Amino acid sequence: MKNRCIPVKKDGLFGFIDDAGKWIIPPKYKDVRHDFDNRGAFTDGLALVQSSENDLYGFIDIRGKWIIEPKFSNAGTFAPGTDFAAAKGVKEGWGVINKLGNWIIEPRYEGCSHIIGDRYFKLYKDLPRAFYYFDAKEEKLLIDTLVCQREHSVAEIAKNATLSSCYCVSIDKDSPTLIQAIGTELWGFIDDNTNNGSVIYPHFKKAYPFSRGLALVQSIDNELYGFIDRAGKYVVNPEFKELLYSTDGMFAKAKSNANELWGAINLKGEWVLKATYNRAEDIAIPHEDCENADGLYGYKDLAGEWVIKPSFLMVGGFEENGMAVAQSAENELWGFINLRGEWVIEPQFEIDAESFEWSEIAPEWKDGLFKREYWR
């Protein structure tokens, strides 16, 4: 078994012993840092220690020889399998160094997090908070972004040396972070919440933050809009002149590339309201069914405004085909309405109200017709 080099403290200072308790390096350091996985002080033959002479941090080898002189006010261990570590200058900020102790990313940042997925260092500046990612594999500062400190707000980054003016919002702390590539100014995402710090490489002309698991993006190929999932795959293909986020996770307002009029689509990219509207504001998407004082049901939007007036004895939720089951107040029979509240299938079916449950009696849609054997 390979002899370990174990950090121990004696008389207020740290040194290293082997498995037999013999001193390998006598106690002379004020502090010893463990590696990322807390496997020990040495990573690839180097240990991060604090000098007792000048209180600064540097790196030693297993013999106690300084490989990188103590010249940092703070530092992190070298990420396993890479040649880079986060470090803070004496009077400067945080940056990234190589195993020669040279700055790869100049120390001008407010902080530097541990490496993400053995590849990406995350650095940031405050006021406004801008995040920068150093790609340890490509050995370059690949991407940077602004994450707003207020949720559901939009902020602008002032022009600087690496990034022209851009926009980004933080919708959900668990959602991937919107990023913009330096140079190409294309957009993508990095997901700090995954084990490997997965990246949707910047290749969109425009991109917007994730909401309800989807992100709105503009294709660089045809400059049309679609929705992607967290894996970067298109859920709704880029076929629309404009798209607005789905307010209820089921429908989205869309501007047709064919006639440049607005309608509504489901999250398969299928039209549920034909593109016949001049403005997106003219389209009201039902959010929830509600009852009025007279005991009739209709639908309100997210703002609580009636978008389908209460005129039904009972209603069900809208399905992805843009239709909902509803009971007529005139003949007490059941049919199906669209997002405008218009009868698509006239009320002609009977159903036992006590057993009414959409999940149980929802008819199958096939070739534009409902199978009537689900109804009696």
pLDDT digit string (tens) for 186-228?
A: 788 776 555 445 667 778 888 887 877 888 999 989 999 999 9
Q: Is the pLDDT of residue 97 over 80?
A: yes
Burial of 303: CB neighbours in 10 Å, binned 0-12, 13-18, 19+: exposed
Q: How far apart are CA 57 and CA 88, in angstroms?
A: 9
pLDDT (mean) for 330-347: 90
pLDDT category of residue 14 using cuts at 50, 70 and 90:
very high
CB 315 within 8 A of CB 266: no
Winning range, highest mean pLDDT, from 67-71, 174-178, 280-284, 299-303: 67-71
β 187-190/167-168 pair status: unpaired
For 15-72, the pLDDT digits (tens) are: 998 877 889 999 999 999 876 454 567 888 899 999 999 999 999 999 999 999 999 9
Q: Among 6-20, 67-81, 209-223, 350-364, which is the least confidently predicted range?
A: 350-364
Contacts of 328 (CB under 8 A, 6+ apart): 312, 313, 334, 335, 347
Higher per-residue confidence, 166 vs 94: 94
Higher per-residue confidence, 229 vs 154: 229
For residue 191, the cross-strand partners are: none
Higher per-residue confidence, 172 vs 245: 245
Fold type of domain 1-112: Lipocalin (2.40.128)
Joined together, the tokens standing for residue 33 give 């840092």
pLDDT given for residue 372 in this prediction = 33
pLDDT given for residue 246 in this prediction = 66
pLDDT category of residue 150 using cuts at 50, 70 and 90:
very low
Residue with tokens 């199958």: 364
DSSP 25-71: EEEEEEEEE--TTSS-SEETTEEEEEETTTS-EEEE-TTS-EEEEEE
| 81-101 core/surface letters (b: 16 or more CB in 10 A; e: else) | ebebbbbbbeeeebbbbbbeb
Domain ranges of the chain: 1-112, 114-210, 288-374
Q: Tell whether the torsion through CA atoms of 342, 344, 347 and 350 is positive or negative.
A: negative
Higher per-residue confidence, 262 vs 2: 262
pLDDT category of residue 5 using cuts at 50, 70 and 90:
confident
pLDDT given for residue 162 in this prediction = 31
For residue 155, the cross-strand partners are: 168
pLDDT given for residue 148 in this prediction = 31
Q: Is the pLDDT of residue 138 over 90?
A: no
Counted residue by residue, the chain has a size of 376
pLDDT (mean) for 351-367: 41
Kindly list the distances between the CA atom of residue 119 and the CA atoms of 48, 124, 197, 201, 369, in Å, as whole numbers in the listed order.
Answer: 20, 17, 8, 14, 53
State percent of the chain over pLDDT 90: 27
Joined together, the tokens standing for residue 139 give 């050995």
Q: Which of 85, 88, 56 is nearest to 69 (CA)?
A: 56
Show the CA angle centred on residue 177, arms to residues 176 and 181, nearest 5°.
125
pLDDT given for residue 137 in this prediction = 63
Joined together, the tokens standing for residue 43 give 């990573």
